Amino acid sequence: MKLSEIRSLLQADVLVGEEALDTTEVEKGYASDLMSDVLAFASPAVLLLTGLTHVQIFRTAQMLDIPSIVFVRGKTPGEDLLQLARGAKMPILATCMSMFEASGRLYGAGLAACNIPRR
Amino acid sequence: MASPYLENFVVDENELFSIGEAAAQIKAILKMLGIPSDVIRRASIVAYEAEMNLVIHGGGGRMELEVRPERVKISALDAGPGIPDIEKAMMEGFSTASEKIREMGFGAGMGLPNIKRNSDSLELLSEVGKGTTLRAEILVKQEREG
Ligand SMILES: Nc1ncnc2c1ncn2[C@@H]1O[C@H](COP(=O)(O)OP(=O)(O)O)[C@@H](O)[C@H]1O
Ligand SMILES: [Mg+2]
C-alpha cells in the first residue's frame, strides 16, 4: 500500500517526506507502544503506528528498515526526531485517530498484519 | 574478504537517546561488505538489542564486530553488575529494567530471547559484580548459483 493512500485513509498530516508518499510502499502494519515487541515481531517493509514520540522510536524503526512511521492520537514528535527522519528520508505521518481506529482503517483497506510466532 | 573484518565500538552508559549508534554503524559496515540483506537484518536486531542491554543494564561497555565470509559475530562486553541467573534472564518477559526505560517502550524482557531467535549461536557469560559478555553468531548461508 502506498503512503499516499495511507495518508488519506488516516486523514494524516505529513511531517516529513511529502515528496516520497507515492513512491514509498508498505506491505504490512504493526501498531504498538511497546518497542520491545516491535523489535521482536515487526516484519520487513512494515508501517509502524505508535503513540510514543521520543528519538529512540526513530532509531528502532531505522534499525528494522521500517520505511515510515505514523504517530497516532495527535502525538507529534520533536524537531530532533524529525531532523533525523529528514536525513534518512523516512516519511513521517501524524493522525489524530486512536491507534485502534487507524489500525482498523488500514487493515480494512487491505494492509496485512505481521505474523506473531507461537511461543 | 581474505582476513576477517574487525571493528570495535565504545558504548556510553549515559547515551539513553542515542542507543543504536553502534548498531547503526555495524549495519552500515555489513551493507558496505555486501552481506546478504536477511543476515544484515538479523545482525542489526542482535546488535541493537545487545547495545540496549549494555546501556540500560551493563553501565556501558564496548561492542565488537567480526565478519568472515561464512559468518558475522557480534559481541557486547561490559564490566557492570552481571546477571545472577542467566536462565531466568533468557526467559521472555523477565526484566529488571527501570520505570524510565519502560516508559520509553523498552524493558519488556524480550531482548535476550530476540537475540537468541535471530542468531545461530549465542554465548552469554556473566559474573555478578564483574560483568557480562554476550557473543552471537549469524551464519551467512552462501547462495549457490547454477
Ligand atoms: N549486560 C547486562 N548486564 C546486566 N544484566 C543484564 C544484561 N543484559 C541483560 N541483563 C538482565 O537480563 C534481563 C533480560 O534482558 P532482556 O531480555 O534484554 O530484557 P530487557 O532488556 O527488556 O530487560 C534484564 O532485565 C537484566 O536483568
Ligand atoms: Mg534488553
Complex ipTM: 0.93
Which residue has the least CA distance to atom 3 on ligand 1?
B58
Contacts of B105 in chain A (CB under 8 A): 32-36, 38, 50, 52, 56-57
**In which band, very low, low, confident or very high, does the pLDDT at B98 lie, cut at 50, 70 and 90?**
very high
Contacts of A81 in chain B (CB under 8 A): none
Euclidean distance between CA atoms B43 and B119, whole angstroms: 8
Mutate to test the pocket of ligand 1, among B53, B114, B119 (most ligand atoms within 8 A of CB): B53
Q: How far apart are the first and last CA of chain A?
A: 30
How confident is the model over B64-80, as pLDDT tens digits? 999 999 999 999 999 99
CA distance B30 to chain A (A): 13
Cα A79 to Cα A15, A20, B117, B126: the distances in Å are 10, 19, 35, 40
How do strand B131-139 and strand B71-78 relate by DSSP bridges? antiparallel
Alpha carbon separation from B73 to A57, B5, B7, B116, B120 (Å, rounded): 26, 10, 11, 13, 10
Q: Write down the pLDDT at residue B146.
A: 42
More confident residue, B18 or B61: B61
Q: Pick the atom of ligand 1 nearest to B107's CA.
A: 22
Complete edge-to-edge strand list for the sheet that includes strand B131-139 = B5-11, B61-68, B71-78, B131-139, B121-127
Lowest mean pLDDT among A97-106, B6-15, B23-32, B85-94: B6-15
More confident residue, B18 or B15: B18
The better pLDDT of the pair B30, B2 is held by B30
Distance from the alpha carbon of residue B96 to the mean position of ligand 1, in angstroms: 7
Q: Is 70 exceeded by the pLDDT of residue B145? A: no
**What is d(CA A47, CA A27) in angstroms, rounded to the nearest whole number?**
8
Nearest CA in chain A to B112: A40
B37 by Cβ neighbours in 10 Å (0-12 / 13-18 / 19+) ranks as: exposed
Q: What is the pTM of this model?
A: 0.95
Superfamily of domain A3-111: HprK N-terminal domain-like (3.40.1390.20)
Query: What's the DSSP call for residue A2?
Result: B
pLDDT over 60 (residue A93): yes
Three cell numbers, residue B58: 551493563
